[in-house]
Amino acid sequence: MKDDIELWKHNVTARWAQTVESGIEITGERNRRLGPLWECAKVTIYVEPSDHFEVVDLVESTSKAREEGYPDSFIFGLLDMLITLEHGPLIRVRVTLKTAEYDPINSTRNAYWQAGRDAGRKLAETVSRSRRHT
């Protein structure tokens, strides 16, 4: 029986994986009302070319967002967008987490996941625009 995950991984990394041309700073945000509460998160990242997907986490270890594990949810949301791009996954990048804002009442794992998806959309749009101009 063939290992479909390994086959997919090989095809993605060897054939279709994309990268960015130069460094880009992006802010992923979620600020939405959900019933009586707000759901909010804001993370700033720097994305640059790399041979493989890598995350450098500069969010302070004493940050309440860090204690709650929210930056991890952000990365999962970001990956959710980057591996499903039309022209192939954008996985040959180094993502540096610079800041993660935290609100003691309105920050949630879902807010950070959605902020990651927002950053992924913004990054995909930037890559698509640069591709059209070349």
Domain hosting 15: range is 4-132
How many domains does the chain divide into? 1
Q: Give the integer Cα–Cα distance in Å for 40 and 105.
A: 9
In sequence order, the β-bridge partners of residue 57 are 97
Q: What is the structure's pLDDT at 13?
A: 58
Checking if the pLDDT of 15 tops 60, the result is no
Cβ–Cβ contacts within 10 Å for residue 127, how many? 21
10 Å CB burial of residue 35 (0-12, 13-18, 19+) is exposed
pLDDT in the model for residue 119: 97
Q: 57: domain CATH number?
A: 3.30.230.10
